[in-house]
A and B are shown apart, each in its own frame.
Chain A
Amino acid sequence: EAGVVQSPRYKIIEKKQPVAFWCNPISGHNTLYWYLQNLGQGPELLIRYENEEAVDDSQLPKDRFSAERLKGVDSTLKIQPAELGDSAVYLCASSKRTGGDETQYFGPGTRLLVL
């Protein structure tokens, strides 16, 4: 079974530029998560999708961040414009469904550096 796929793995941009990250979850997983992980910290949830619906986006900075999961499979996370403080690792995860007992499977992440 293929794992969660993310691209690109690394991205370097200048501040004020836009950037987009792509995630392909494990086949059959209805729930998709985007996390932000700062250096030396644990991941923090940005947004959670159940199929196409964003059911928890309370931690997503909506002035500059947006996300979509149009067909309930792949997802894209966008930042426009990027700021220096956005430098971090962006992790995508998926699970079969939403639930406290559900195991989340993580992708390798996209490491973003904003200069």
Chain B
Amino acid sequence: SQQGEEDPQALSIQEGENATMNCSYKTSINNLQWYRQNSGRGLVHLILIRSNEREKHSGRLRVTLDTSKKSSSLLITASRAADTASYFCAVIQGAQKLVFGQGTRLTINP
């Protein structure tokens, strides 16, 4: 079963705009991770945020975590065409098993 649920399922914006994707999960977590997947490629780890952190930055990426609402958001600022990809959140379930959501398909229009 998939733990995380991303919202929206698809997002299309103009280059230069900011993109925000949300993830909700069901159980208590130690950390939450975000991955990117370009079409036809494997997943690439973007950022990990621990349960005791509320916000984390990496370049143009900003991740927030609200453990009381069991939700996280990924913000990509000043989007570029190369950001077109699917974005997945993932949490650890049980014995070190990483469980992914269904992903948000992001399209950046030139």
Collect the chain A residues with CB atoms within 8 Å of residue B92's CB. 100
Given A42-B90, A101-B31, A103-B48; A108-B42 close (CB under 8 Å): yes
- Asked if A42 and B88 sit within 8 Å, CB to CB, the answer is yes
B90 touches A45 (CB 8 A): no
Is the pair B43, A100 in contact by a Cβ cutoff of 8 Å?
A: no
Q: In the bound complex, what is the Cα–Cα distance between A40 and B40 (angstroms)?
A: 12
A53 sits at the interface (CB 8 A): no
With an 8 A cutoff between CB atoms, is A44 at the interface? yes
B68 at the A/B interface (Cβ < 8 Å)? no
Residues from chain A with Cβ under 8 Å of B58 in the complex:
none
Q: Residue A109 at the B interface, CB < 8 A?
A: yes
Binding-face segment, B11-19, B70-78, B93-101: B93-101
- The contact string, 1 if C-beta is below 8 Å from chain A, for chain B 97-110, is 11111110000000
- Binary interface encoding of chain B residues 43-71 relative to chain A, with 1 for a CB under 8 A from any of its CBs, else 0: 11100100000000000000000000000
Kindly list the 3 A-B residue pairs having the minimum CB-CB distance in the complex, ordered from nearest: A42-B100, A106-B42, A106-B43
* Other-chain contact of A44, B35, B41, B45, B100 (Cβ < 8 Å): B100
What are 11 of the A-B contact pairs (CB < 8 Å)?
A41-B2, A42-B2, A42-B102, A42-B103, A44-B2, A45-B98, A48-B97, A100-B96, A101-B48, A106-B35, A109-B40
B30 to chain A, nearest CB (A): 5
Q: Given A42-B100, A56-B97, A91-B43, are A100 and B90 neighbors across the interface (CB < 8 Å)? A: no
Q: Which A residue sits closest to B41, measured CB to CB?
A: A108
Q: Mark A71-115, 1 if CB is under 8 A from B, else 0.
A: 000000000000000000001010000111101111111010000
A18 within 8 A of B: no
Q: A4-B42, A42-B4 are in contact. List 10 more A-B contacts (CB 8 A).
A: A41-B2, A41-B102, A41-B103, A42-B88, A48-B96, A91-B43, A101-B48, A103-B48, A105-B45, A107-B42
- Tell me whether A40 and B2 are in contact in the complex, defined as CB-CB below 8 angstroms, given that A45-B97, A98-B96 are known contacts: no
Residue from B95, B97, B102 with most neighbouring chain A CB atoms (10 Å)? B97
What's the Cα separation between A63 and B93 when bound, in Å?
25
- Which of A91, A99, A106, A111 has the most chain B CB atoms closer than 10 A to its own CB? A106
